[in-house]
Amino acid sequence: MRFMDETILAYIAGFLDGDGSIFFQIVPRKDYKQKFQIRSSIAFYQKTKYVEILDWLKEKFGCGYIRHRKTGVSDYTIVESKEVRKILELLKPYVRLKKRQVDLGLEILDKLEDKKTNQDFIEICKLVDMFGEMNYSKKRTITNETVSKFLSP
């Protein structure tokens, strides 16, 4: 990740507040101990016509990928949790609309590093459910209850 001064960070935070999203999802993973993974991601959206701003962001952060959708919208997405953490920490002082999401996202990432038991994982899944409520997520099918039923003896 390249050095960015406060002006650039504030600009990117404003972009995230307006045309960006932060996601935390519970996804099935057969190869994981608890059979589920907490996936974190940050996405920035823009008309494909103006994709150069997404190219600039990708160059600044040095990670993630850009997709061009048939709808005429492109997105720049970062999914690696270490990279998501770095970006959230960089933008935290500057975000306004998504401040609660940034704070909760960092809490989830902290707890993921410390999880030791199935109960720890279930508690993190509860935080992911809270995150989904902040984002008004309607498509979520896997919740903390799903994980809890699966992991409970």
Helix%, strand%, coil% for the chain, nearest 5: 50, 20, 30
For residues 111 and 127, the answer to whether their CB atoms sit within 8 Å is yes
Q: b or e along 112-124 (b: 16 or more beta carbons within 10 Å of the residue's beta carbon)?
A: beebeebeebbeb
DSSP-assigned letter for residue 63: -
19 flagged as catalytic: yes
- d(CA 28, CA 36) in angstroms, rounded, equals 4
Amino acid at 90: L
CB atoms within 10 A of CB 28: 12
* Secondary structure of residue 99 in the 3-state scheme: helix
For residues 94 and 9, the answer to whether their CB atoms sit within 8 Å is yes
Residue from 18, 55, 103, 110 carrying the catalytic annotation? 18
Residue from 5, 19, 105, 110 carrying the catalytic annotation? 19
Residue positions annotated with a catalytic role: 18-19
